[in-house]
Structure 1
Amino acid sequence: MQPRIPRPTVVAAAIVALTLVTLAGLLAPALWYELVERRDLGRLAAGGAGVAAIFMLYARLLWLNLMRRTAPVHALGLAAIAGLCWAIPAVLGGDAGWGNLLMVPAGLIAVVLPLRQAVPVTAVGAVLTPVYGLLLGLPVLSVLYEAIGFPISAFSGYVTVWLFHIVQELREARAELARSAVGQERLRFARDLHDVLGHSLQAVALRAEVAERFVDRDPPRVRKELTEIQTMARDAVRDVREVVRGYRTTSLRTELEGISAVLQAAGIRCDRPAIPDLPAHVHEPLGWVAREAATNILRHSGASWCRITLAADSRVHLEIVNDGAGRRSHTPGTGLHGLAERVTAAGGELAAGPDGDGMFRVRASVPLETREP
């Protein structure tokens, strides 16, 4: 299946690295010309130092804004990059590829500046850059390329950072949904325990107070109260066990309703089937299959939809399909091995794996009737 999405810092580092590689592709012809054609080490050193300074400042500003560490002083860094990109072609000449430097600041405009400022700055840059290119004596096609490419580069930089922030916010929202679900389940369990134990423990406390008042005056009454306390305590223990047993019991209906809500909250379209009345022995293994399949979809896939089908004849068949499988071969993990053991113990069968066209399919079936011992 598809690998997990790396941490935000890893993705940000990859974006910075790919951006620098792209810029290097723009400026490599100029450095190559100075090294091989002109063989002027002084010009090469000056151009290389300027390019290195631009790259370091560019990478720093891009990284800080990807990490949401924005500051007004970053506008000065952008101005410094623009000044270097305009000064180097003026000193070394616009020929031999140095004119490509005029395009470099565009990618940072909408990243560093607020959008209300980035739009007019991009418009001004799209006009001034080709004019300056003409003054440097650049070919007409290069000037036309800069006039068209300047706003495109600015928009590309904005979209890159915007998509990175959107993905990060979706990761945070998914984690918050998981924490909220856990918290709600804890509250439900605490509420059930309170409802079960609250009355019993209050009654035990009252009986103990009565026994304490009559401990010297009426020993038979005390023995009666102690007997009642013992009975109430045993009943409370039995009630707690019932609550815990119900809490741990896996219900196929509950699991399908829960995973449908969770997947839809995570932006994955999920169609949940109608659930007929099924024997109790069916719910446990198929409920675990549904739970593990949903966990794998959320953790390991890039699914956009999930389809759940349920059918019953002599056996109950559950199938969960999603479109988040990768193209590489799938190696079953411990979760699927554990599921296979549960389903086999119930007399059923389990099959899971990629099914072509990027789909991953989980099929499970268990007998509708219990097996005779």
Structure 2
Amino acid sequence: MQPRIPRPTVIAAIIVGMTVVTLAGLLLPALWYEIVHRRDAGRLLLALTGVGAVFVLYARLLWQNLMRRTAPAHRLGLAAIVAICWALPPLLGTGQGWGNALLVPAGLIAVVLPVREAVGVTAAATVSTPVYGVVLGFPALMVLYEVAAVPLTSFSGYVTVWLVHVVQELREARAEMARSAVGEERLRFARDLHDVLGHSLQAVALRAEVAERFVERDDGRVRKELTEIQTMARDAVRDVREVVRGYRATSLRTELDGMSAVLRAAGIRCERPEVSPALPAHVHEPLGWVAREAATNVLRHSSATWCEITVRADRDRVAIEIVNDGAARRAAGDAGSGLAGLAERLAAAGGEFAAGAAGDGTFRVAAAVPAKGDA
């Protein structure tokens, strides 16, 4: 099963939360040592103020950039974090873990700065941070660790933001593809309807103009033109019915082909089931409408990643079941007028219809019609 992609705000909140936990792993051990062992009020106040400011600034800058709310002032925030983190070790001592504070700003370099600028700043930080550690008297192993950790931490921040933005763009592309698929279907119907009605209505208008010219001069000619108008109008109605029948009374196989193609174009995994060619003719129209309405609901009312279609036929009835995930966005009890219309169609055909959200986040549409037309 493909994982459901959360909304951008949810992804950003998760990443910020995980980052805060990572910062806690770097800074809280040293802060805990100040609280439990040293118990110096001045040092403790300085440590709490510095660590708290780093946490708040870091989380805010990361959230803003994950949500694409970049601003020039973010550079000042990054500079403030650098100043605090580089000031903590000499003020509070290089032991007990305060040296980890030097690594904290690296995670925001590629988040706040453009890529080209971030590369240069990362290179400078990779050199300056170990040198500063040597000046402060860090052990050689700690200095080597900083040489490797600074570029890796910077690259990790870049990849994190890049992946979040890619997910947002994929969601937008998926929504656009769904809108395009629906729009193309509407254009196709409009084009067919125009081709059928355009000529007929134009001819009716011309015949009416002719009848108007002879209305006071030649009653026979007027009657002839009115007869032609009636004939053309009936032909136009018949043509429209043929167009509509092409959309409504098509085969179930064709409907399922179109449904699966539209959903796949929208990025939703959907396989067309095998449909028996021996299905009774009367089942195609009602079940075809079920397939169309279900596809519309999946595109408009869900954040689905997959849709499963099942068609079953036996001696008594022909049934279709359509299940998709991502049903959490649908309000509880919101069946929609389209589904209510389907229930009426199936009832008129002597069939059964049910639709609703399940407790596992899926939405199920099920319909069945009698296998015999006179049932």
Larger relative contact order (CA 8 Å, sep ≥ 6): 1
Match of 1:54 in 2: 54
Match of 1:104 in 2: 104
Contact 1:3 1:300 (8 Å CA) reproduced = no
Match of 1:114 in 2: 114
What is the alpha-carbon distance in structure 2 between the residues aligned to residue 45 and residue 260 of structure 1? Answer: 63
1:66 has 2:66 as partner: yes
Which whole-Å deviations, capped at 9, do the CAs of 1:66-85 have from their partners, x for residues lacking one? Answer: 12233455334323322221
Contact 2:351 2:367 (8 Å CA) reproduced = no
What is the alpha-carbon distance in structure 1 between the residues aligned to residue 195 and residue 152 of structure 2? Answer: 63
- Single out whichever of 271-280 and 179-188 deviates more from structure 2: 271-280
1:135 has 2:135 as partner: yes
Match of 1:152 in 2: 152
Match of 1:18 in 2: 18
Match of 2:208 in 1: 208
What is the alpha-carbon distance in structure 2 between the residues aligned to residue 243 and residue 237 of structure 1? Answer: 10
Identify unmatched segments of 5+ residues in structure 1: none
Which whole-Å deviations, capped at 9, do the CAs of 1:321-362 have from their partners, x for residues lacking one? Answer: 99x799xxxx99969x989998897779999999xxxx9999
Counterparts in 2 of 1:168 and 1:189: CA distance versus 1, 3 Å:
same
1:101 Cα offset (Å): 0.9
1:94 has 2:94 as partner: yes
- Single out whichever of 345-354 and 238-247 deviates more from structure 2: 345-354
Match of 2:284 in 1: 283
Match of 1:29 in 2: 29
SS of residue paired to 2:70: coil
**What amino acid is the match of 1:230?**
Q
Contact 1:352 1:363 (8 Å CA) reproduced = no
Match of 1:126 in 2: 126
Contact 1:250 1:288 (8 Å CA) reproduced = no
Which whole-Å deviations, capped at 9, do the CAs of 1:154-207 have from their partners, x for residues lacking one? Answer: 222112111111111111011101111121122112112211211111111111
Match of 1:236 in 2: 236
Contact 1:311 1:318 (8 Å CA) reproduced = yes
Which whole-Å deviations, capped at 9, do the CAs of 1:187-240 have from their partners, x for residues lacking one? Answer: 112112211211111111111111111111112211222232233223323433
**What amino acid is the match of 1:283?**
H
1:128 Cα offset (Å): 2.8
**What amino acid is the match of 1:174?**
R
Which whole-Å deviations, capped at 9, do the CAs of 1:131-176 have from their partners, x for residues lacking one? Answer: 3223323344443443333223222211211111111111101110
**What amino acid is the match of 1:187?**
L
Contact 2:174 2:267 (8 Å CA) reproduced = no
Contact 2:268 2:305 (8 Å CA) reproduced = no
Counterparts in 2 of 1:296 and 1:156: CA distance versus 1, 3 Å:
farther
RMSD over aligned Cα, in angstroms? 4.1
What is the alpha-carbon distance in structure 1 between the residues aligned to residue 61 and residue 47 of structure 2? Answer: 21
1:286 Cα offset (Å): 4.7
What is the alpha-carbon distance in structure 2 between the residues aligned to residue 240 and residue 342 of structure 1? Answer: 21
Contact 1:94 1:138 (8 Å CA) reproduced = yes
Counterparts in 2 of 1:146 and 1:283: CA distance versus 1, 3 Å:
farther
Counterparts in 2 of 1:17 and 1:273: CA distance versus 1, 3 Å:
closer
SS of residue paired to 1:95: coil
What is the alpha-carbon distance in structure 2 between the residues aligned to residue 152 and residue 98 of structure 1? Answer: 20
What TM-score, normalized to structure 2? 0.77
SS of residue paired to 1:230: helix
Counterparts in 2 of 1:47 and 1:179: CA distance versus 1, 3 Å:
same
Mapping for residues 216-295 of structure 1, pairs under 5 Å: 216-249=216-249, 251-267=251-267, 271-272=271-272, 277=277, 278-284=279-285, 286-287=287-288, 290=291
- Single out whichever of 202-211 and 264-273 deviates more from structure 2: 264-273
1:183 has 2:167 as partner: no
What is the alpha-carbon distance in structure 1 between the residues aligned to residue 210 and residue 171 of structure 2? Answer: 57
SS of residue paired to 1:370: coil
What is the alpha-carbon distance in structure 1 between the residues aligned to residue 319 and residue 163 of structure 2? Answer: 40
Number of matched pairs: 363
Counterparts in 2 of 1:230 and 1:288: CA distance versus 1, 3 Å:
closer
SS of residue paired to 2:158: helix
Counterparts in 2 of 1:178 and 1:125: CA distance versus 1, 3 Å:
same
What is the alpha-carbon distance in structure 1 between the residues aligned to residue 210 and residue 344 of structure 2? Answer: 54
- Single out whichever of 195-204 and 230-239 deviates more from structure 2: 230-239
SS of residue paired to 1:138: coil
1:167 has 2:167 as partner: yes
Contact 1:343 1:350 (8 Å CA) reproduced = no
Contact 2:94 2:137 (8 Å CA) reproduced = yes
Match of 1:8 in 2: 8
